[in-house]
Structure 1
Amino acid sequence: MAQSNTAAEASPDESAKPAALRKPIESWLTDMDGVLVHEGTVIPGAGEFIGKLRESGKPFLVLTNNSIYTPRDLHARLKGMGLDVPEECIWTSALATAKFLAGQRPGGTAYVIGEAGLTTALHQIGYVLTDSNPDYVVLGETRTYSFEALTKAIRLINAGARFICTNPDETGPSTEGVLPATGSVAALITKATGVEPYFVGKPNPLMMREALNTLNAHSESTAMIGDRMDTDIKSGMEAGLKTFLVLSGLTSQSEVERFPYRPSRVVKSVAELVDEI
């Protein structure tokens, strides 16, 4: 398939739509890693982009499949890098998972493998964390997956606990290279139990719809920015959003053509989107 010669070229669906029928973007969703920051460094233009969003008064959320940190933790980490994102403008897969469980089984119980971002979110919805006959086994991100904890999860699922995962990412970035992430560990548990988990985070459009509800925004006037076709762009597209793929993260221009779906636009970085706000 021939590649586009222009990174910012619109997809056929978007370009075919008359300008008068395209609703202006009134709210924004953006991924974090690969869009705003990369390996502990702010991506050029990200500070200006967030600053313009805050000045405009348009509602926005920074979305991340990372469930390790609370929004307060992420706010502090981003600020330490020089990027000031308000705590209330950060939406994690841990928060999305907690909101999902609160709607499914209010006041339930869960055995959790994860960090403070996940356990805090579950405590905030009134869940009791226990390894005694829990309603759910909830698997999130952690840098210290233990054989003992995984064995406990497998036995609880075999005993009837429902299996939930914060996100399906198979690997995560680090300064030393890739790390096994939630999706890889979930595959191990599934192999041992025969039970497939329900993944709440991207590319499940549920995370997008919950973010839209949080902003009181409409899909037709909301945009999603991401650096991954298989999570950010797919979930944004399936939720009916305008999608922007940035080339500052994991996806190259040539890789875009390998997917059966396309973003609304491909840009080099968020620096090219400042004037869109």
Structure 2
Amino acid sequence: MTDHRRVDTWLTDMDGVLVHEEDAIPGASEFVEVLKASGKRFLVLTNNSIFTPRDLAARLRGSGIDVPEQAIWTSALATAQFLAEQRPEGSAYVVGEAGLVTAMHDVGYVMTDRDPDYVVLGETRTYSFEAITRAIRLIEKGARFIATNPDPSGPSPAGTLPATGSVAALISTATGRQPYYIGKPNPLMMRSALNRLDAHSETTLMVGDRMDTDIISGLEAGLRTVLVLTGSTSRAQIEHFPYRPTRVVDSVADLVELVGDPDPS
């Protein structure tokens, strides 16, 4: 990097950067340990709204990566925070799992299917036709439509799974109403993470594996960005995009030495 601003804060994606499914990416554990030892503020970001930070911390520990649960920021947490600021102590009909429901309860929201302020759609491995139908009818009656993230699909050991964006498209087709997405690539996800750390965009780096989510949302939030090549975007694909990351590295293993460097140029 030719940018000589110091780096005080690190934001990093999880899947494709630190882990593939349940397997740690080589160098990921060392990267996290150096971050913790440096005393620099950091958050692990994920669009996954299924799990709570405690669940995800346990998953990462099982992969050999020790991330404190308070250092994990999910699209569910960002969604709950956004709604609490927009309409404090409101109500919502939630289609999702424990990560989203817990986050909504923690900000004082009431879960209901009677005239809710919002329909909030998150990721789940057990979408039900009944729940989707109920969401459609509530939106038709005036509930505001929120989705945790626009990811159309996600990986699993058995292959591709439909994700939040696909189900949101189904609901939008039925209702004619588009949701407001909170997670990446909405830079709101980055700004909420910065606010959580009381950090500044000028001195923060975002590490991700996807040009179309991690890098664009970091760029639009005013952050410097690092693309790792262990996930979705290959080196050849970078040139297909009209924007570029600040730096491209093979993996987070290449960032270990930079964490302790006040001038990672």
Give the equivalent residue in structure 2 for 1:175.
157
Following the alignment from structure 2 to structure 1, what is the Cα–Cα distance between the partners of residues 232 and 156? Answer: 13
Q: Which residue matches 2:74? A: 92
How far apart, in 2, do the equivalents of 1:201 and 1:172 lie? Answer: 14
> Following the alignment from structure 2 to structure 1, what is the Cα–Cα distance between the partners of residues 6 and 250?
21
Residue 101 of structure 2 aligns to a residue whose secondary structure is: helix
Query: Is 2:196 aligned against 1:214?
Result: yes
Structure 2 residues without counterparts, runs of 5 or longer:
260-265
Q: Report Cα offsets for 1:180-208 as digits up to 9, x if no partner.
A: 10001000000000000000000110110
The 2-side partners of 1:262 and 1:180 are apart by 29
1:60: how far off?
Answer: 0.1
Alignment correspondent of 1:136: 118
d(CA) in 2 for partners of 1:258, 1:179: 26
> Residue 53 of structure 2 is aligned with which of 71, 80, 98?
71
**C-alpha deviation, 1:244, in angstroms:** 0.4
Q: Deviations over 1:103-137 (max 9, x none)?
A: 00000000000000000000000100000110000
1:237 has 2:219 as partner: yes
**Cα distance in structure 1, aligned partners of 2:223 and 2:159:** 32
The equivalences for 1:41-80 within 5 A come to 41-80=23-62
1:136 & 1:110 partners in 2: Cα distance?
5
Partner of 1:32: 14
The alpha carbon displacement at 1:178 in A equals 1.1
1:185 and 2:130 equivalent? Answer: no
Counterpart residue type for residue 59 of structure 2: R
Instruction: Tell me the TM-score normalised to structure 2 length.
Output: 0.97
Identity %: 70
Match of 2:181 among 199, 216, 219: 199
TM-score for the superposition, normalised by structure 1: 0.92
2:193 alignment partner AA: A
Shift of 1:24: 1.1
CA distance in 2, matches of 1:45, 1:80: 16
Deviations 1:198-227, CA, capped at 9 Å, x for gaps:
000001101101100111111010000000
Counterpart code for 1:59 = R
1:176 Cα deviation from its structure 2 partner: 1.2
Q: The residue matched to 1:236 in structure 2 has which SS?
A: helix
Q: 2:91 aligns with which of 104, 109, 117?
A: 109
* Alignment match, 2:136: 154
Q: What is the match of residue 262 of structure 2? A: none
Q: How far, CA to CA, are the matches of 2:24 and 2:216 in structure 1?
A: 25
Q: Pick from 248, 251, 261 the counterpart of residue 230 of structure 2.
A: 248
Cα offset for 1:177?
Answer: 1.2
Question: Once the 2 structures are TM-superposed, how far is the Cα of residue 250 of structure 1 from its aligned partner?
Answer: 0.9
Structure 2: distance between partners of 1:49 and 1:128: 39
Kindly tell me the number of residue pairs found equivalent between the two proteins: 259
Which residue does the alignment assign to 2:209? 227
